[in-house]
Amino acid sequence: MSENLNNYLDLLNNQQRIAVENTEGATLVLAGAGSGKTRVLTYKILHILVKKLAFPQQILAVTFTNKAAMEMKKRVSTLVNYPIDKMWLGTFHALSAKILRNCSELVGLKSNFIIIDSDDQLKLIKKICERENIDTKEKTPKYFVSIIDNYKNKGIFANSISNNKNKKDKDVSKIYALYQKELLHLNCVDFGDLILHCQKIFKENSEIRLKYQKLFKYILVDEYQDINNGQQKWLELFYQGNKNIFCVGDDDQSIYSWRGADVTNLLNFEKNFTKPEIIRLEQNYRSTKNILKCASTLIKKNDGRYGKKLWSNNNEGEKIIVSGFWQTKEESIFVSDEIEKLISNKISLSEIAILFRVAAHTRSFEDRFINLGIPYKIIGGLRFYERKEIKDIIAYLRLITNFNDNLAFERIINIPKRGVGKTTLSKINSLARNNNLSLLEATQKMLNDSKIKINEEIRNFILKIFKWSEIKNKLNHIELVELILEDSKYIEYLEAEEKNIKNPNNLNRLENIKEFIESLKEFENLDGFLEHVSLVMENISNTSNNTITLMTMHAAKGLEFDHVFLSGWEEGVFPSKRSLDELGKIGLEEERRLAYVALTRARKKINITYVNQNRYSYASHDFNLPSRFIEELPKDSIEFTDSSYLSDKDFLNDFDEKVYSSDNYLTPGRKRLLSKAQNKEVDWDFNQDYNTIESFDYTLEIGSRVFHNKYGYGRILKYDGDKVDVEFDKTDQKKIFLKYLQIID
């Protein structure tokens, strides 16, 4: 063992040490944000091994991710200076799979069973529905998958549904039972089965149950607030052996109810386990005192919690800045300007994060950062223009603009479903190659050939493509997109998808479409928008590690940054209207816990922003109120800004004049952009001192003559950020990116 093992307890604060040394019975450690939860778990295992209370194989340690398990195993191995591979350390599913391999025959499986994923689940359910003649239009296969997964998360077996008060309908019990039968026939299990089968084996086989209960002297559980009811029952079965269980969690950070997590398992700890010890870790090592004060004051509004008071020896820190804006564009301009200031002060981009309640709201920030040349990455999701539904709609627009766009055709020919299979696509591709035609032309040729059978849905699709193309110049581009979404039944398709899957990414798809429509309003025509998208896709390849992080609040849990921007703090957005409508007070409390998680991601500084006008209805009279969570923050710890951005309807109209009327207003990012536009490429170092840069030589002026490869010669009429309005000699006025223009002396 390493020499420093003699004083490892001295590396812990008083409460951490009490938790580590308390080895007997049931213990719940309420670990506040940034209080050293991982250290306590690691040192707990270390303590058990050093004191020789158990061998590694007698410890059952449960984490929620394989990554967390690997990191914990590595830390402990390093500390004790020998491998601990025999220790049972892993996720609920991985540990259950290990047990199930050893006694699979007891549930009718072979030891080489296959664990299927969600796609395989869907295919199998679909097959069963077809076989049983169940109408899948009303209740789709995804609906049944969602309901069955929900039952398994609660630890409910197929044969128990009929007696369960939560029974959905008569079909669910039938499909669930047939699905389980089919899985056994195929020697397969899904993830929910891994835990359910273990429960079944333990309940029906006392010899096996006693074997494992005797084996595990200590049970340790990480992120206890995130377990579901099925996992709770699983733990209780193991606990009945030596009755030593050590759970670490934070009821104030329970934010995953949508995937089955039930915080009441933590809140009922004293009921579920015998005479437990409750230990609170309240010293925060991450954030300033002011941030902790705001987070603590906010979370006190929740009733369903044990309660704790975070404190810190860190400095007081800056007040939280709250800023309101008229539109999202103003919001993104403000945030990007603040980030430019941080860059000029040599703050690393990796220490800056922007957190959103809704993933769709990244769009305006992404556009802004791309135009300014600021690198960014999205954690836990895709960039806005890489999201499936956005790429689908863009493919529709590309195809009606260019009939030869085969990639766009292939993407949307069967979205929504039109009965186009591999065989049909193969015929279309073959005809196109042999006759030197585009895929659209080849399909049209097949439709005109009476000898070839083509389903009516494909015919209607082709006719609509031509119709939309014909009228695209008669409608503005926003009306055109809305027409395509309606005519193609794409919105109906998304609604059906979202209704049947409990996944935040899917639940955000409609919001993404709304945000997409809003993005169109920044462009005069469809050509200008498609040109913009091409530029965006050209610039998303940056792989630098020094990037700003954009992510949802859910994805941010467990992470920390020096500077955090919290966007979209408006009623209806945050707290989510959907959560309030569906879950009432329970939903509100989870949203407040999410706000708590967001606030405690910051080490030094927080900016909260909200938008006055409805994010999706700028032309309407709908207005947003600031989030109630802003009102719940302590007044002496926050500061409301009073800037030129705030609630100023004329701000965007005269923004460009402000930008170009003063050298002082040209931010480093804007200088980079305009420098590139003039073919003056700058090797920009984000960490350099921008005050030493020579004054920017800006030569473009209103009235300057320019040349465009497509539209020819013209004259600049107006600036619009990284774009200009140009009056061309031989065509209409257009809005063009600066990078595509050449200056004519």
Q: Clarify whether 23 is annotated catalytic.
A: no
Q: Clarify whether 15 is annotated catalytic.
A: no
d(CA 360, CA 556): 16
Q: Clarify whether 605 is annotated catalytic.
A: no
Closest among 259, 385, 320, 350 to 550, alpha carbons compared: 350
d(CA 371, CA 104): 57
CA 161 to chain centre: 33
d(CA 458, CA 460): 5
Q: Which of 253, 444, 552, 609 is catalytic?
A: 253
* R_g of the chain computed on alpha carbons: 30
Q: Which of 601, 603, 670, 672 is catalytic?
A: 601
Strand 712-720 versus strand 705-708 pairing type: antiparallel
171: exposed, middle or buried (Cβ count in 10 Å: 0-12, 13-18, 19+): middle
- Say whether 488 sits in a helix, a strand or coil: coil
Q: Clarify whether 223 is annotated catalytic.
A: yes
Q: Which of 15, 37, 366, 600 is catalytic?
A: 37
- Say whether 715 sits in a helix, a strand or coil: strand
Residue 562, H or E segment: strand 561-567
Residues 6+ apart with CB under 8 A from 551: 353, 354, 355, 356, 378, 379, 380, 381
Q: Clarify whether 131 is annotated catalytic.
A: no
CB atoms within 10 A of CB 65: 13
Residue with tokens 């999202």: 328
Q: How far apart are the first and last CA of the chain?
A: 76
Q: Clarify whether 3 is annotated catalytic.
A: no
- CB-CB contact of 618 with 518 (8 Å): yes
Q: Which of 17, 23, 38, 648 is catalytic?
A: 38
CB atoms within 10 A of CB 315: 10
Residues 6+ apart with CB under 8 A from 675: 681, 682, 696
Q: What share of the chain is helix, strand, coil (3-state, %, to 5)?
A: 50, 15, 35
- CB-CB contact of 521 with 618 (8 Å): yes
- Say whether 303 sits in a helix, a strand or coil: coil
d(CA 704, CA 134): 68
CA 490 to each of CA 91, 470, 702: distance values in angstroms, whole numbers, following the listed order:
38, 20, 43
| Residues marked as catalytic | 37-38, 222-223, 253, 601
